[in-house]
C-alpha cells in the first residue's frame, strides 16, 4: 500500500514540508538585506548533511530511522535514541502548531481561545496523518500550486511598488553574522527534513533519491529566496524586520486600482494550509517513533494520542508569542543533536556495519 512512492510526489511533499513554516514567517534575520546570501550559504552547508541522510536511507532499505537505530545500537541504546528523536519530532509538531495557532489568534480570531484554534488544527492534521503517508503526498501535490500562488501573487500585482534599492547596501554585515544566520536557516527549515527519515520505510521505491532530494531542496531555496526578497522589496527593511508575519502584510499591501484590494481575508486561510502539511508530517513521524518505542505494530492507533500530546505541549511550551519568536534564535542549538549529531552517529555506525558485512560474507548477504 505504502510502497509505491513516485519521486514527483515525494518532492512535492519535501517542498511543502520545508516551506510550511517559512512561507508564513518570511524570515528576516539579523543580517537584514544580506539575508539572501545567508539563505544560499545555508543550503550549501546543508547539502553534505542531506547526502548523509540519503546515504543512511540507502544503507538500510525498507527501514525507518527507529528501526535503523535499534539494529545498529542494540535494543537499549537504540530505544533511547528513538525516544530522543520521537520527542524532537513531537516538539517540532507542537512548535509549528503553536506558530500557526498564534498566527490565527493574532490575525483573525483574537477573541477565540488559543486552544480552540489549535484543537481544530490538530483534529484535521491527525486525520491527515492517519490517512497515511501516501494520501499525504497526494494532498501536497494539490497544495503546492497554492503555495506558488501565495509567493508570486503579491509580486506580480505590486510589481511597480517594488523598491530594488532596499537590497543595498550589500554585505553591510560582518561575515560572521551572515554565517551565524545561515546556520539559523540551516536548522529551520532545511535540516528539519530529518523528520522524513522517521518514515523512510515508505520510500524504498525511489529510483534516484539523490536527484529528488537535492532538486526539491533547491526548489525550496528558490522559493525561500523569492519570499525573502519579495518581503524586503515590498515592505522595506525596518518594516519587514519589525513584523511577526511579513508575508501576510505583503498580501495586505496588494491594491490594484481599488478593485483588487483587501484580499488577505481570503488568502490568509491558505497560509494555514501550508502549516497543516508540516504538522501532519511531524505527527506521522512522531507516531511511528512511539509505535516503534512501545512495539506497537500499527502506528495509526497512536496518531490521536500523539496529537493530543502535541496539543498539550503546544499549549504549555511557550507563554507568549514574543517568547516563541525569541526561542527561534536558540532553535539551531536545540535542534543540533537531533538534526546533526544522531544522524551522523547512525551514518558512521551504518557504514562500519556495511563494510564489515561486505568483508565477512558477501555471498551470504546476497
State yes or no: residue 177 binds other proteins (CB under 8 A).
no
Tell which one of 112, 242, 269, 361 touches other proteins (CB under 8 A): 242
Shortest approach of other proteins to residue 244 CB, angstroms? Answer: 10
Say what the alpha-carbon torsion angle 294, 297, 303, 307 is, to the nearest 10 degrees.
10
Nearest to 121 by CA among 103, 138, 139: 103
Structural contact between residues 225 and 155, judged by C-beta atoms closer than 8 angstroms = no
Distance, in Å, from the CA atom of 170 to the CA atom of 44, rounded to the nearest integer, reads 20
Which of these ranges, 121-129, 165-173, 192-200, 310-318, lies near other proteins under the rule CB under 8 A? 165-173
Of residues 176 and 207, the one with the C-beta less far from other proteins: 176
Q: Can residue 257 be called a binding residue for other proteins (CB under 8 A)?
A: no
Nearer residue to other proteins within complex by CB, 127 or 153: 153
> Mind giving me the DSSP string for 110-140?
TTS-HHHHHHHHHHHHHHHHHH-HHHHHHHH
Binding segment for other proteins (CB under 8 A), chosen from 69-77, 225-233, 246-254, 346-354, is: 246-254
C-alpha cell at 79: 530505544
Measured distance CA(122)–CA(44) in Å, rounded: 34
Q: Which one, 110 or 365, has the nearer CB to other proteins?
A: 110
What is the spatial distance between Cα 32 and Cα 156, in angstroms, rounded to a whole number? 23
Verify binding: residue 157, other proteins, rule CB under 8 A.
no
| Sole binder of other proteins in the list 77, 80, 106, 348 (CB under 8 A) | 106
Number of H helices, E strands in the chain: 15, 2
Q: What does the DSSP 8-state code read for residue 13? A: H
Span 261-280, contacts to other proteins by CB under 8 A:
262
Is residue 1 involved in binding other proteins (CB under 8 A)?
no
Determine if 252 is a binding residue for other proteins (CB under 8 A).
yes
CB 237 within 8 A of CB 82: no
Q: Of 115, 239, 340, 349, which one interacts with other proteins (CB under 8 A)?
A: 239
Q: How big is the site for other proteins, counted in residues (CB under 8 A)?
A: 18
Interacting residue with other proteins among 110, 266, 362, 365 (CB under 8 A): 110
For other proteins, the closer of residues 32 and 192 by Cβ is 32
* Distance between CA atoms of residues 150 and 46, nearest Å: 26
Q: How far apart are alpha carbons 166 and 219 in whole angstroms?
A: 24
From 67, 134, 177, 255, residue interacting with other proteins (rule: CB under 8 A) = 255
Q: Could you say whether residue 165 binds other proteins (CB under 8 A)?
A: yes
Residues contacting residue 150 through CB under 8 Å, at least 6 positions apart:
23, 247, 251, 267, 270, 271, 274
Kindly tell me which residue out of 115, 237, 293, 317 binds other proteins, with binding defined by CB under 8 A: 237
Residue closer to other proteins (CB basis): 179 or 239? 239
Q: Applying CB under 8 A, does 169 fall inside the site for other proteins? A: yes
Determine the 3-state secondary structure of 109 from DSSP: coil
H or E element that contains 187: helix 175-187
Looking at beta carbons only, is 83 or 167 nearer to other proteins?
167
Q: Which residues bind other proteins (CB under 8 A)?
A: 106-107, 110, 165, 168-169, 172, 235-239, 242, 249, 252-253, 255, 262
Amino acid at each position: 500500500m505504502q510502497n509505491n512512492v513516485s519521486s514527483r510526489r515525494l518532492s512535492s511533499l519535501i517542498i511543502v514540508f520545508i516551506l510550511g513554516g517559512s512561507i508564513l514567517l518570511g524570515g528576516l534575520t539579523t543580517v537584514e538585506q544580506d539575508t539572501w546570501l545567508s539563505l544560499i550559504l545555508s543550503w550549501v552547508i546543508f547539502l553534505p548533511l542531506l547526502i548523509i541522510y540519503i546515504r543512511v536511507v540507502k544503507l538500510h532499505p525498507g527501514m525507518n530511522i527507529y528501526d535503523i537505530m535499534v539494529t545498529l545500537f542494540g535494543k537499549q541504546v537504540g530505544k533511547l535514541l528513538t525516544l530522543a528523536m520521537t520527542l524532537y519530532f513531537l516538539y517540532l509538531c507542537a512548535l509549528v502548531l503553536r506558530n500557526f495557532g498564534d498566527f490565527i489568534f493574532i490575525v483573525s480570531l483574537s477573541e477565540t481561545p488559543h486552544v480552540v484554534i489549535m484543537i481544530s488544527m490538530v483534529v484535521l492534521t491527525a486525520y491527515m496523518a492517519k490517512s497515511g503517508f501516501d494520501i499525504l503526498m497526494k494532498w501536497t501535490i494539490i497544495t503546492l500550486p497554492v503555495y506558488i500562488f501565495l509567493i508570486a501573487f503579491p509580486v506580480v500585482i505590486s510589481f511597480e511598488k517594488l523598491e530594488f534599492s532596499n537590497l543595498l547596501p550589500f554585505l553591510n554585515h560582518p561575515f560572521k553574522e551572515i554565517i551565524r544566520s545561515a546556520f539559523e536557516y540551516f536548522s529551520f527549515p532545511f535540516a528539519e527534513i530529518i523528520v522524513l527519515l522517521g518514515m523512510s520505510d515508505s520510500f524504498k521505491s525511489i529510483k534516484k533519491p539523490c536527484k529528488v532530494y537535492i532538486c526539491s531542496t533547491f526548489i525550496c531555496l528558490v522559493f525561500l529566496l523569492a519570499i525573502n526578497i519579495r518581503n524586503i522589496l515590498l515592505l522595506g527593511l525596518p518594516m519587514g524586520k519589525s513584523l511577526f508575519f511579513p508575508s501576510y502584510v505583503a498580501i495586505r499591501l496588494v491594491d490594484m486600482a481599488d478593485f483588487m484590494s483587501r484580499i488577505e481575508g481570503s488568502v490568509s486561510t491558505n497560509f494555514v494550509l501550508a502549516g497543516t502539511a508540516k504538522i501532519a508530517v511531524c505527527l506521522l513521524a512522531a507516531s511511528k517513533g512511539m509505535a516503534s518505542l512501545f512495539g506497537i505494530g500499527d502506528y495509526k492507533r497512536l496518531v490521536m494520542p500523539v496529537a493530543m500530546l502535541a496539543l498539550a505541549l503546544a499549549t504549555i511550551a511557550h507563554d507568549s508569542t514574543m517568547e516563541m519568536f525569541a526561542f527561534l534564535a536558540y532553535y539551531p542549538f536545540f535542534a543540533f543533536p537531533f538534526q546533526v549529531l544522531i544522524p551522523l552517529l547512525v551514518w558512521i555506525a551504518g557504514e562500519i556495519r556495511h563494510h564489515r558485512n561486505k568483508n565477512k560474507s558477501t555471498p551470504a548477504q546476497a
